[in-house]
């Protein structure tokens, strides 16, 4: 490995990636690393005004006077040549959102490594944080992986473990993993410079595919168990958010907990209890206490507040959620 500062190209887009970039910037105090360029997705229109918005990674790079490159992909010869001209020792990729062809993976001297939000080979794919919550995993973490042309199939270089709390949402777990990812990355880079990283092949028998999320996955099937629905609510928070149909139309469910109330004569989706804590709804197995909701055109609120509003009738005992949807 070079004794001079490690020449790094960083590729990432959202907040998760920005945390890893920040970790490298903080470590520059020891003059171990030189970030020679940052790649991020092109600015996208957002908000009601559809103004172009820079990614969190671009904002951080710009604030630190690091050259930023934003190709649509790496199919153009000039984009390939630009990367080669940076003469990087290594390329670090974290939630970049663009598939890298083999010619790009092979351009840096030591290839490309990825900061992946899962303990590989458990969850490969676009949404490992959400899928781990929805599956009821008790643990997840960060894997620093040597990238190849497959989907998260490369050799594992370093792992950092993280417990999943019973109250975790995809948002809270994301934030912890983002910080952990930065720490794991620096650990891996130090080991890389020291020549002590030992690649480990993934066991293909243990893989699961963390498919990209869709809004349709948010629809609650009350015929399933309270446990599965509670994990669905947490795993899809803050996006795309679990939802159900009600007398007042679509109702998003932001917070829910498994309840102890049971009624064998009830039908899944029936509201069994209404109180200041929330509403308790029957499921195919057990019941669910819903405490925070949101109706179309309204804001997120506690059920207690909604009971004083215009949609109170939709939350009364005896009302059945989901009756206007696919669960009918």
Provide the annotated binding site for (6S)-5,6,7,8-tetrahydrofolate.
Answer: 118-121
Structure tokens at 323: 């009756």
From 216, 252, 217, 213, select the one nearest 126 (Cα to Cα): 213
Nearest CA to 243 out of 131, 321, 320, 328 is that of: 321
CA distance linking residue 121 with residue 83, whole number of Å: 29
Binding residue numbers: 118-121
Residue 247, classified by CB atoms within 10 Å of its CB into exposed (0-12), middle (13-18) or buried (19+), is middle
Q: What is the rounded distance in angstroms from the CA atom of residue 268 to the CA atom of residue 271?
A: 9
**Phi, psi at 113, each rounded to 5°:** -120, 150
For strands 44-46 and 51-53, give the pairing: antiparallel
Whether 218 contacts 229, CB under 8 Å = no
CA gap 106, 92 in Å, rounded: 13
Distance CA 212, CA 216 (A): 12
d(CA 267, CA 56): 46
CA–CA dist 182, 188 (Å, integer) = 10
């Amino acid at each position: 490995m070079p004794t001079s500062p490690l020449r790094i190209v960083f590729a990432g887009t959202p907040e998760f990636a920005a945390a890893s970039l920040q970790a490298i910037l903080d470590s520059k105090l020891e003059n171990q690393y030189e970030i020679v360029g940052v790649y991020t997705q092109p600015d996208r229109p957002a908000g009601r005004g559809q103004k172009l918005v820079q990614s969190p990674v671009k904002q951080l790079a710009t604030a630190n006077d690091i050259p930023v490159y934003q190709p649509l992909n790496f199919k153009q010869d000039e984009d390939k040549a630009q990367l080669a001209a940076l003469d990087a020792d290594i390329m670090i990729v974290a939630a970049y959102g663009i598939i890298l062809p083999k010619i790009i993976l092979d351009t840096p001297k030591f290839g490309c490594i990825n900061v992946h939000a899962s303990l590989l080979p458990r969850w490969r794919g676009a949404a490992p944080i959400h899928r781990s919550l929805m599956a009821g995993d008790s643990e997840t973490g960060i894997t620093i992986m040597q990238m190849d042309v497959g989907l998260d199939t490369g050799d594992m270089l370093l792992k950092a473990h993280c417990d999943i709390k019973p109250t975790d949402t995809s948002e809270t777990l994301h934030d912890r993993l983002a910080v952990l990812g930065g720490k794991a990355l620096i650990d891996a880079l130090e080991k890389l410079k020291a020549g002590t990283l030992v690649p480990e092949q993934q066991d293909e028998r243990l893989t699961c595919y963390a498919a990209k999320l869709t809004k349709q996955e948010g629809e609650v099937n009350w015929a399933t168990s309270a446990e599965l629905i509670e994990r669905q609510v947490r795993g899809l928070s803050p996006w795309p958010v679990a939802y159900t149909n009600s007398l007042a139309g679509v109702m998003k469910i932001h917070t829910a907990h498994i309840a102890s109330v049971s009624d064998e004569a009830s039908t899944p989706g029936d509201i069994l209890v209404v109180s200041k804590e929330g509403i308790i709804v029957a499921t195919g197995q057990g019941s669910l206490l819903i405490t925070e909701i949101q109706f179309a055109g309204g804001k997120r609120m506690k059920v207690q507040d909604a009971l004083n509003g215009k949609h109170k009738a939709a939350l009364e005992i005896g009302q059945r959620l989901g009756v206007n949807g696919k669960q009918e």
